[in-house]
Amino acid sequence: AGVFTYDPGFTSTAACDSAITFIDGDNGVLTHRGYPIEQLATESHFLEVAYLLLYGELPTPKQQQDFETMVTRHTMIHEQMQYFFRGFRRDAHPMATMVGVVGALSAFYHDSTDINDAHHREVASIRLIAKMPTIAAMAYKYSIGQPFVYPRNDLDYAANFLHMCFAVPAEPYQVNPVIARAMDRIFTLHADHEQNASTSTVRLASSSGANPFACIAAGIACLWGPAHGGANQACLEMLREISTVDRIPEYIAKAKDKNDPFRLMGFGHRVYKNFDPRAKIMKETADEVLALLGVENNPTLQVAKELEAIALQDPYFIEKKLYPNVDFYSGIILEAIGFPTSMFTPIFALARTVGWISQWKEQLADPQLKIGRPRQLYMGDDVRKFVPINDR
């Protein structure tokens, strides 16, 4: 017996100290290592932000080049892993495939992953960041019955991912640089977000000394839920279901109805009680990409903008401080690029991997590291006498 603080959902418990990401939810501020997300999203790019998250400082040109070369050289996965993919049903959700395949990396690198060895930790980090796009693209190709496409070292991180998803042997994929830039920005906006559910899952899994591939697989599993990363898929499906602006009030009413479990997907956040700064950048990017593709009158975007405008004037959403979050506009961009909704959460997972890894490395470097072991308030029966089955 003991006296514990009861904090369901960890709304007021800090589980660690961290120097990676800061969120001021009341003012809609997000910084990585002190740099505002707005600056990183527009002036930097994903692999530079990855370096910043991992090592704490912006890289010099030489450090950046060496880092990008390392990542590029690790993009292939063991040829044997193709058989692992082929064991899945074609209609499996790509997130299900990713949980399995990323966990299986533990089986391929068991002899070179001693988490007590700093070099091994470094190599495992690079491997995960490098291979995640390959694994996500393979999960996609497998689900649509197309041949796997190998990574290309001459392309940057985002362009290579688009190539692996959309090229076919019969026809090379011409990567549009504006689309590649938008893809890179989506990765950057998802790179880290302090102690969210999946990051906390990675930290909890790793606190037992588990290997990093298993820990990241645990993070992917947690991210999949619709209250977390799965919201990007659920949001676009919701916008498509609403389909026309005149049906918005019906859905707003459902979201407000306490007897209806429906929630506006892509709305609300545990920490932000103001605009999610990522959502603002995502909205601008959606406008840019759709204009470039000549589909600025996209009906889903119209529904999204109108839904946002109506919700932000509704007393229910105002009172509860519910604003659009990162998942509200991302799906519209991903759909315009050509991704099916089932790939939205895998894309979130591949981008968040660097955040998970940065947090994992920070945790392992903490001299105070203890196994994560929450306590409980026991509400069950007192001690009872066992009754044999025939006497019940």
Of 267-275, 335-343, 367-375, 381-389, the window that binds ligand CMC (rule: CB under 6 A) is 267-275
Asked if residue 224 binds ligand CMC (CB under 6 A), the reply is no
193, 269, 276, 381: the catalytic one is 269
- SS3 assignment for the chain: CCCCCCCHHHCCCCCCCCCCEEEECCCCEEEECCEEHHHHHHHCCHHHHHHHHHHCCCCCHHHHHHHHHHHHHCCCCCCCHHHHHHCCCCCCCHHHHHHHHHHHHHHHCHHHCCCCCHHHHHHHHHHHHHHHHHHHHHHHHHHHCCCCCCCCCCCCHHHHHHHHHHCECCECCCCCHHHHHHHHHHHHHCCCCCCCHHHHHHHHHHCCCCCHHHHHHHHHHHHCCCCCCCHHHHHHHHHHHHCCHHHHHHHHHHHHCCCCCCCCCCECCCCCCCCCHHHHHHHHHHHHHHHHCCCCCCHHHHHHHHHHHHHHCCHHHHHCCCCECCHHHHHHHHHHHCCCHHHHHHHHHHHHHHHHHHHHHHHHCCCCCCCCCCCCCCCCCCCCCCCCHHHC
Q: For ligand CMC, which stretch binds (CB under 6 A), given 48-56, 130-138, 319-327, 374-382?
A: 319-327
CA 186 – CA 195 distance, rounded (Å)? 20
Our answer to whether residue 269 is catalytic in this structure is: yes
Q: Cα-atom radius of gyration of the chain, to the nearest Å? A: 22
Under rule CB under 6 A, residue 322 binds ligand CMC: yes
Residues in the chain: 392
Of these, 49, 104, 158, 264, which contacts ligand CMC (CB under 6 A)? 264
Q: Does 21 bind ligand CMC (CB under 6 A)?
A: no
Q: Tell me how far the alpha carbon of residue 108 is from its chain's centroid.
A: 24
Q: Tell me, yes or no, if 327 is annotated catalytic.
A: yes
Min dist. Cβ of residue 50 to ligand CMC (A): 19
| Least distance (Å) between residue 138 CB and ligand CMC | 23
Q: Is 233 in the site for ligand CMC (CB under 6 A)?
A: no
- Verify binding: residue 251, ligand CMC, rule CB under 6 A: no
The answer to whether 327 contacts ligand CMC (rule: CB under 6 A) is yes
Q: Does 261 bind ligand CMC (CB under 6 A)?
A: no
User: Does residue 100 belong to the site contacting ligand CMC (CB under 6 A)?
Assistant: no
331 makes contact with ligand CMC (CB under 6 A) = no
Q: Does 253 bind ligand CMC (CB under 6 A)?
A: no
Q: Residue 273, interface with ligand CMC (CB under 6 A)? A: no
Is residue 220 near ligand CMC by the rule CB under 6 A?
A: no
Judged by CB under 6 A, the residue of 52, 158, 214, 265 near ligand CMC is: 265
Measured from the CB atom, is 4 or 10 closer to ligand CMC?
Answer: 10
Stretch that binds ligand CMC, among 64-72, 133-141, 320-328, 335-343 (CB under 6 A): 320-328
Interaction of residue 283 with ligand CMC, rule CB under 6 A: no
Nearer to ligand CMC, 133 or 229 (CB): 229
Query: Which residue of 269, 283, 352, 361 would you call a contact of ligand CMC, by CB under 6 A?
Result: 269
Binding of ligand CMC at residue 342 (CB under 6 A)?
Answer: no
Given CA atoms 323, 336, 184, 157 in this order, what sign does their dihedral have? positive
* Distance from chain centroid for Cα 355: 9
Of 85 and 328, the one with the shorter C-beta distance to ligand CMC is 328
Binding to ligand CMC in span 173-202, by CB under 6 A = 196
**Nearest CB to ligand CMC, comparing residues 94 and 268:** 268
* Planar angle of CA 20, 229, 277, nearest 5 degrees: 55
263 sits near ligand CMC (criterion: CB under 6 A): yes
Q: Does 166 bind ligand CMC (CB under 6 A)?
A: no
Q: Which residues bind ligand CMC (CB under 6 A)?
A: 9, 196, 227-229, 231, 255, 263-270, 320, 322, 325-327
